[in-house]
């Protein structure tokens, strides 16, 4: 292959990368790398192709090759930051991105990505700072505009956020991320119908966008008024930092215990406190099982089936089975009077919490931990069911083990999810 043909194929691969056809680009790049021509731009494009296909381990090897061969080239450090961000190594991502910014301080895209890293950690002030820096370098940088809008939403400056998103749409009306961003912003306001249209547009432009798929699911579920307000509350809580989330969880639990104690001690206050206690308990339980129950409903909808991930479908089905077992157990108690059925019904209902949340973590490590804990609780629940039903007794040693385990699971799951 002569130099002209090499350059022609390299240019073709670059066009394919810009079109998001990463697999086709990789095939061409593999052929070029096999020719023996040593050109660092081919390695760079191959790293992009690997990242585009989600092959981050091989992408990291190529990125490190880029950095070692050309340590003063900013783009290699930027790509390595992208890879480290995928592995949720935010310290490593910041380190490489800072080096890229040092080498190329006028690249608005680097500052936009820096803003997105701070968004991951709910550090909205820092995210806004870097997004604004990127926009000073390029006022029409769509990634920086989207990051700025997300930061403003996090800071509860919704009017400014919408103005920013509208500017982004004017700059690039066919940007899938901007439409998805607009959809999520509308969900924060409870405008699920408008949000749904933006998510649909986003998926038409980029069918594989998980950000838009998740938004589409929430918008579809938010058509139910009760879920709409529940979602708004969850979105508000999601904007909190890890420390504030723990403060809210612990504060809520302490408040709940104080109200329960007060209701027991002061009979005159009991009629007023009991409804409040029940509302708090319902809110905490719904935060674990409401979403998977709605996902179970979406399994009957063709758009829902398309948008749900495998883990979401699994949790929805298992929660459905657990709910069915609970309801059947209560019915059998009414028919037979066997008190073992009523405790089995309660345990099966409680099992919906781990089964509905075990697939929530984003990392494989987090998934393994919660799935393992859920499996243990399921085994305990099954053992209790057999002992209680065949012994015609409400409780067993395993009933109390399950209750303690369920409480421990909720604290453990919060720890895993907040620390991801």
Same domain for 21 and 141, yes or no, is yes
Looking at every residue in the chain, the average pLDDT score rounds to: 87
Closest CA to 337 of 402, 394, 397: 394
Measuring CA to CA, how many Å separate 374 from each of 251, 295, 355? Answer: 26, 19, 6
Identify the domain boundary among 161, 181, 201: 181
Nearest to 104 by CA among 113, 149, 146, 90: 113
Both 167 and 302 in one domain: the answer is no
DSSP one-letter code for 308:
S
Domain that holds residue 124: 3-181
pLDDT of residue 37: 60
Residue 105 counted as domain residue: yes
The reply to whether 24 and 165 lie within a common domain is yes
Question: What average pLDDT does range 242-270 have in this prediction?
Answer: 81
CATH assignment of the domain containing 60: 1.25.40.10
Domain co-membership, 175 together with 301 = no
Contact 380, 398 (CB under 8 A): yes
Lowest mean pLDDT, pick from 2-16, 254-268, 338-352: 2-16
Q: What's the pTM value of the predicted model, to 2 decimals?
A: 0.74
Rg (CA), the chain: 26
Among 165, 181, 197, where does a domain finish? 181
Q: Which residue has the tokens 């870097």?
A: 130
Domain closes at, from 181, 204, 226: 181
Residue 8 resides in a domain: yes
Give the separation between CA 48 and CA 122, rounded to whole angstroms: 27
Looking at the domain assignment, is residue 133 inside a domain? yes
Does residue 65 belong to any structural domain of this protein? Answer: yes
For residue range 62-115, what is the model confidence (pLDDT) as tens digits? 899 888 888 898 999 999 999 999 888 889 999 999 999 999 999 999 999 999
- Number of domains making up the chain: 2
One domain, residues 169 and 307: no
Query: Does residue 24 sit in the same domain as residue 171?
Result: yes
Domain membership flag for residue 410: yes
* pLDDT: which is higher, 26 or 379: 379
The answer to whether residue 308 is domain-embedded is yes
């Amino acid at each position: 292959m002569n130099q002209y043909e090499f350059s022609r194929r390299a240019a073709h691969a670059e066009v394919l990368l810009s079109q998001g056809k990463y697999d086709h680009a990789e095939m061409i790049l593999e052929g070029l790398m096999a020719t023996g021509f040593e050109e660092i731009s081919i390695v760079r494009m191959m790293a992009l192709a690997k990242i585009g296909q989600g092959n981050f381990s091989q992408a990291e090897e190529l990125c490190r090759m880029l950095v070692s061969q050309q340590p003063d080239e900013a783009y290699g450090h930027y790509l390595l930051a992208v890879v480290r961000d995928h592995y949720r190594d935010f310290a490593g991502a910041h380190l490489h991105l800072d080096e890229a910014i040092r080498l190329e301080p006028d690249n608005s895209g680097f500052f936009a990505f820096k803003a997105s890293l701070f968004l991951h950690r709910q550090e909205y002030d820092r995210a806004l700072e870097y997004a604004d820096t990127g926009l000073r370098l390029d006022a029409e940088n769509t990634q920086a505009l989207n990051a700025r809008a997300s930061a403003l939403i996090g800071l509860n400056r919704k009017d400014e956020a919408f103005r920013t998103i509208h500017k982004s749409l004017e700059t690039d009306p066919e940007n899938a991320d901007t439409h998805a961003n607009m959809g999520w912003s509308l969900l924060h306001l409870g405008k699920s119908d408008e949000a749904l249209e933006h998510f649909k547009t986003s998926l038409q432009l980029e069918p594989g966008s998980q950000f838009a798929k998740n938004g589409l699911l929430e918008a579809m579920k938010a058509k139910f008024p009760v879920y709409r307000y529940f979602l708004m509350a969850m979105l508000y809580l999601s904007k909190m930092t890890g420390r504030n989330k723990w403060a809210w969880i612990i504060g809520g639990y302490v408040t709940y215990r104080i109200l329960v104690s007060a209701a027991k001690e002061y009979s005159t206050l009991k009629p007023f406190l009991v409804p409040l206690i029940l509302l708090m308990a319902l809110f905490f339980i719904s935060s674990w099982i409401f979403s998977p129950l709605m996902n179970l409903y979406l399994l009957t909808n063709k758009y829902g089936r398309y948008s749900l991930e495998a883990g979401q479908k699994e949790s929805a089905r298992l929660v459905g089975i657990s709910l069915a077992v609970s309801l059947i157990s209560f019915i059998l108690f009414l028919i037979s009077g066997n008190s073992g059925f009523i405790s089995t019904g309660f345990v099966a209902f409680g099992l919906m919490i781990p089964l509905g949340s075990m697939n929530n973590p984003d990392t494989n490590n987090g998934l393994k931990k919660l799935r393992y804990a859920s499996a243990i609780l399921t085994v305990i629940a099954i053992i209790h069911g057999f002992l209680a039903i065949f012994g015609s007794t409400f409780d067993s040693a395993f009933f109390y083990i399950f209750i303690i385990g369920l409480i421990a699971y909720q604290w453990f799951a919060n720890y895993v999810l907040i620390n991801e």
